[in-house]
Structure 1
Amino acid sequence: MALYIPKAQILLPRMPHLASSTAAAAQTRQDSRTAAQTRQDSRTLGFLRRSLLLNPLYHSNPLRMAAAIVPGDSAKSAGVVRSSLIEPDGGELVELVVQPEERAAKRAEAAALPAVRIGRVDLEWVHVVAEGWASPLRGFMREDEYLQCLHFNSIRMADGSIVNMSLPIVLAIDDYTKEAIGVSPDVALVGPNGDFVAILRSIEIYKHNKEERIARTWGTTAPGLPYVEEVIRPSGNWLVGGDLEVLEPIKYYDGLDHYRLSPRELRKEFDSREADAVFAFQLRNPVHNGHALLMNDTRRRLLEMGYKNPILLLHPLGGFTKADDVPLDVRMEQHSKVLEDGVLDPATTIVAIFPSPMHYAGPTEVQWHAKARINAGANFYIVGRDPAGMTHPIEKRDLYDPDHGKKVLSMAPGLEKLNILPFRVAAYDTSVNKMAFFDPSRAKEFIFISGTKMRAYARNGERPPDGFMCPSGWEVLVNYYKGLQAEETGQQSAALSV
């Protein structure tokens, strides 16, 4: 995947709360940086300072100002360390799992309610909402929330404030289930294994206009969109919204549950490491050395700004993905090798699974990815070229403009308090045999290795250029594809024998 950032710029000029602490840092850049780069950074930081002075949001909200602790603040100098530098949307982290002592009574109540069976992806959304990733949302969307999300990518709170909400989090039901619910105000959600998962309270049932939902979320109704074909089109013609009471924490028992840290658990981990900045990196591919270069360079730049202990949240997506993506367990094994080999520093990196399903909805979805990390306590978000995008399902082109994701994040309503960190272009530099930042003056010396090309290398048993990925991490991918090919060969043989 080609990665992009405008030359000599790391911060899009949207977050004013860094201005007062970074002006001095801009004057002490390392000697290796060019004068042009320094001038560009000074212009950016000046813009941030002016934004702080002119933005009434930050002057009128003392809680938000207190959360924006930066190097040199009086709270920091007094010994107060706050890693949760950004308050959750709505001011309070939503957590919807009932207390252990209440679970027996809630299960008994659920057994007496009309039942709504939910699928695997629905269960992932229950997980997302229950832990507060979608704060302040407290359940599956009712119609007013759904329409605001679909048409405005945001929801207006009772106090008039706006929170970002770009993806509909909804539960579809069919005609038979709607009829069975009748006039009951509450329903029980029954999971894929037949167990009671949650009670949905004070429900509202409304029409599921699939065409409108697809068109507004993806910008196209072309056939072949993975989430659409596997989740939306087969679903029912009605949506049911309401407040969730989740009967117990969602577990998958796949050997990876210890990676599934909730927003509250992540905030505690940031505090225990005494982080003074947290920058999140979302991905659904294995980590190659170009990714690592970008993450390590981001940390270096935050240190230059004056932060003492910025922590990386390496946060792979763990929910629904399309069929040709590398499975989660393989990706997590590969990520562990990257840390074992020291490509990323384990002391300054937290690896955790983000439980959300993947839509591949480009600029619409990248807002959701950024918003959820606010609720986890990250105050910086790294955005790359064509985030959450994919190839057009029927035409040979990108579905979205590759630069629109980062531009949308810089303007999205409800994300004003989040610092956006765009990528620089990283590619394989044949002159030094390693991943490096792209230099247009010698473009012929660089090779761009996309995620698709990387997977083709591994599937065909080919080695990528030395320095593209740590050897132990590459071995994990090669072994996965060898096993997959053996399985496919066995299935073909069995089919022929039948």
Structure 2
Amino acid sequence: MSSCLIEADGGGLVDLVVPETSRDGKIKEAELMPKIHLSKIDLEWVHVMSEGWASPLKGFMREEEYLQSLHFNSLRMKNGSLVNMSLPIVLAIDHRSKHTIGASTNVALLAPDDANIVAILRSIQIYKHNKQERIARTWGTTSPGLPYVDEVITPAGDWLIGGDLEVLQPVKYNDGLDHYRLSPQQLRHEFHLRQADAVFAFQLRNPLHNGHALLINHTRRTLLEMGYKNPLLLLHPLGGFTKADDIPLDVRMEQHIKVLEDGVLDPQTTIVAIFPSPMHYAGPTEVQWHAKARINAGANFYIVGRDPAGMGHPTEKRDLYDPDHGKKVLSMAPGLEKLNILPFRVAAYDTIAKKMAFFDPTRAQDFLFISGTKMRNYARNGENPPDGFMCPGGWEVLVTYYKSLQAQEAEPKAAVLTT
């Protein structure tokens, strides 16, 4: 299929899903191999790699790939070129699993909750998992309280296993959202069908408010002024692991759909899909991964905001990262040269115009900044934000969600009172 879309990293999308005609034979072969149980987040990474989001990576990293990713944020191809790869994508195992594998060169990977074989890892290599070095280089700190570290790395095994991945069937979650989990190949096909001559991606892990929409619509007008005839928006919320106080994926997706239904964004020029990656909250290091993955989906423009992939410092009252470093790093990162970075213009609530508008420093006193924390507090307390902050349908989704949380929190107390 001919297309004007940006080329995938390494020259083509990786597809690690075994053809249906070969599955039975592969499963029989895998049943005789040593077996490793995946965690839920391991399975998310299998999903990511199977569809080519991490192209040209073809499996969990062996040591040479791991060291390049950890120390250089990139991988060198055989032809000498570099592709960006800022996050190590690795599979940890413990001493017992290492002993079980023994001298075997292939292992079978099992689903988190049952004995179903998800994938085969071939030509494996096992090497030491130096957790402290991985944490320090990925996050720039070893402070306690980093969500991905606490949930994933600290309890993980002391060994890493890498190899070539063969995924036995497409990963599904059966949560009512699988139809939004479009692979890079499916997205490219959709962009082609809609005759897109540019694709601009916007990642978010929070609800979409009118400030986001202002930026998105401004970006599309800018691309039209640049001469593009049909630029399309890839509205691409993150769908993997998130920290406990983030709003769940199903609620965010419902809110995003309401935004489209209310006409805040144009459904004809917007594709809403879920990006299946887990979230690290690793700031400038992680935002490179977010941008690189969208290249593989066909996006040639990427909107980057304030403190992308960042969070508050886990032990100090400050941002973990400099809020401007993410966009600066993206403009310089090796392997991302073909991606056009669109800096996020700061939007705030204009108390004079009574709507979200681009911040004007000459009348700073007229603007109200509504942070994600403040927005969540409004919804949690049943308060309405200023008119024009978010479309009514989208806001109602958030209010309903927080009411349900409060009802759940009240249930145990009511039970205690009645005993």
TM-score normalized by the length of structure 1: 0.83
8 Å CA contact 1:83, 1:377 repeated in 2: no
Check whether the contact 1:81–1:275 (CA below 8 A) recurs between aligned residues: no
Cα separation, 2, equivalents of 1:81 and 1:376: 15
Residue number in structure 1 paired with 2:191: 270
2: CA distance between counterparts of 1:365 and 1:334?
Answer: 25
The answer (yes or no) to whether the contact 1:362–1:386 under 8 Å persists in 2 is yes
Q: Percent identity?
A: 77
User: Equivalent residue for 2:291?
Assistant: 370
Q: Deviations over 1:47-73 (max 9, x none)?
A: xxxxxxxxxxxxxxxxxxxxxxxxxxx
Query: Aligned pair 1:138/2:58, yes or no?
Result: yes
| Corresponding residue of 2:312 | 391
- 1:293-312 map, 5 Å: 293-312=214-233
* Unaligned ranges ≥5, structure 2: none
2:351 pairs with 1:430:
yes
1:185 aligns with 2:105: yes
Contact 1:275/1:310 (<8 A) preserved: yes
User: 5 Å matches for 1:237-256?
Assistant: 237-256=158-177
Q: 1:199 to 1:463 in 2, by over 3 A?
A: same
Residue 160 of structure 1: how far off its partner (Å)? 0.6
Q: What aligned pairs does 1:342-421 form with structure 2 within 5 A after superposition?
A: 342-421=263-342
Classify the secondary structure of the residue corresponding to 1:464.
Answer: coil
Q: Which residue in 1 is equivalent to 2:32?
A: 112
> Counterparts of 1:255 and 1:469 in 2: how far apart (Å)?
25
Aligned with residue 325 of structure 1, among 231, 234, 246? 246
* Aligned mates of 1:491, 1:246 — CA distance in 2: 43
After superposition, the CA RMSD in angstroms is 1.1
In the aligned structure 1, how far is the partner of 2:237 from the partner of 2:73? 23
Aligned partners of 1:485 and 1:129: how far apart in 2? 38
The one-letter code sitting in structure 1 at the alignment partner of 2:264 is V
Is structure 2 residue 76 aligned with structure 1 residue 156?
yes
Tell me by how many angstroms 1:495 deviates.
Answer: 6.0
Matched, 1:147 2:147: no
Deviation at 1:193, TM superposition (A): 2.4
- Per-residue CA deviations over 1:321-362 (Å, capped at 9, x if unaligned) read 000000000000000000000000000000000000000000
> In 2, are the aligned partners of 1:318 and 1:357 still within 8 Å (CA)?
yes
1:94 aligns with 2:18: no
SS at match of 1:283: coil
CA distance in 1, matches of 2:30, 2:210: 49
**1:475-486 alignment to 2 at 5 Å?**
475-486=396-407
One-letter amino acid of the counterpart of residue 297, structure 2: A
* Residue in 2 that maps onto 1:176: 96
Measure the CA separation in 1 of the matches of 2:150 and 2:412. 25
Question: What is the distance in 2 between the residues matched to 1:482 and 1:106?
Answer: 48
Q: Does 1:292 align with 2:213?
A: yes
2:138 aligned to 214, 217, 221, which one?
A: 217
Q: Using the alignment, how far apart are the partners of 2:413 and 2:206 within structure 1?
A: 28
Take 2:308 and 2:90, find their aligned partners in 1: how far apart are those partners?
23
Structure whose CA Rg is larger: 1
1:272-296, CA deviations, whole angstroms, 9 ceiling, x for partnerless residues? Answer: 0000100000000000000000000
One of 462, 465, 468 as aligned partner of 2:386 = 465
CA shift for structure 1 position 109? 1.2
Please name the residue that 2:366 is paired with: 445
Q: CA deviation at 1:82?
A: 3.0
The 4+ residue runs of structure 1 with deviation greater than 2 A are: 80-83, 491-498
Q: Secondary structure at the match of 1:316?
A: coil
> Which secondary structure state, in structure 2, belongs to the residue aligned with residue 291 of structure 1?
helix
Within 2, Cα distance between the matches of 1:88 and 1:399?
32
Deviations 1:358-386 (A, max 9, x none): 00000000000000000000000000010
- How far residue 494 of structure 1 moved from its aligned partner, in angstroms, is 4.0
SS of match in other structure, 2:65: helix
Post-superposition Cα deviations, 1:11-40, rounded to whole Å, max 9, x if no partner, equal xxxxxxxxxxxxxxxxxxxxxxxxxxxxxx
Gaps of 5+ in 1: 1-79
SS of aligned partner of 1:258? helix
Is 1:231 matched up with 2:158?
no
Q: Of residues 474, 484, 494 in structure 1, which corresponds to 2:395?
A: 474
One-letter amino acid matched to 2:330? L
Please give the alpha-carbon distance, in whole angstroms, between the structure 1 residues aligned to 2:93 and 2:332. Answer: 35
Residue 496 (structure 1) shift: 6.8
Alignment-derived partner of residue 204 in structure 1: 125
Q: Residues of 1 paired with 2:303 and 2:224: CA distance? A: 16
**Cα pair distance change 1:496/1:391, threshold 3 Å:** farther
Hey, what's the Cα distance between the residues in 2 that align with 1:415 and 1:126? 23
CA displacement 1:112-159 (0-9 Å, x = unmatched): 110000110000000000000000000000000000000000010111
Aligned residue type for 1:253:
N
Q: Secondary structure at the match of 2:321?
A: coil
Q: Distance in 2 between matches of 1:96 and 1:390?
A: 33
Q: TM-score, normalised by structure 2?
A: 0.98
Q: Equivalent residue for 1:33? A: none
Matched AA of 1:141: M
User: CA offsets, 1:436-476, max 9 Å, x none?
Assistant: 00011111110000111111111111100000000000000
Judged with a 3 Å threshold, the aligned counterparts in structure 2 of structure 1 residues 448 and 81 are, in CA distance, closer, same or farther, namely farther
Report how many aligned residue pairs link the two structures: 418
Could you tell which deviates more after superposition, 414-423 or 103-112? 103-112
Q: What SS does the corresponding residue of 2:245 show, helix, strand or coil?
A: coil
Distance (Å, rounded) in 1 between the aligned partners of 2:332 and 2:412 = 50
1:83–1:278 Cα contact (<8 Å) kept: no
- What is the Cα deviation at residue 83 of structure 1? 4.5
The residue type equivalent to 2:329 in the other structure is V
In 1, Cα distance between equivalents of 2:77 and 2:2: 30
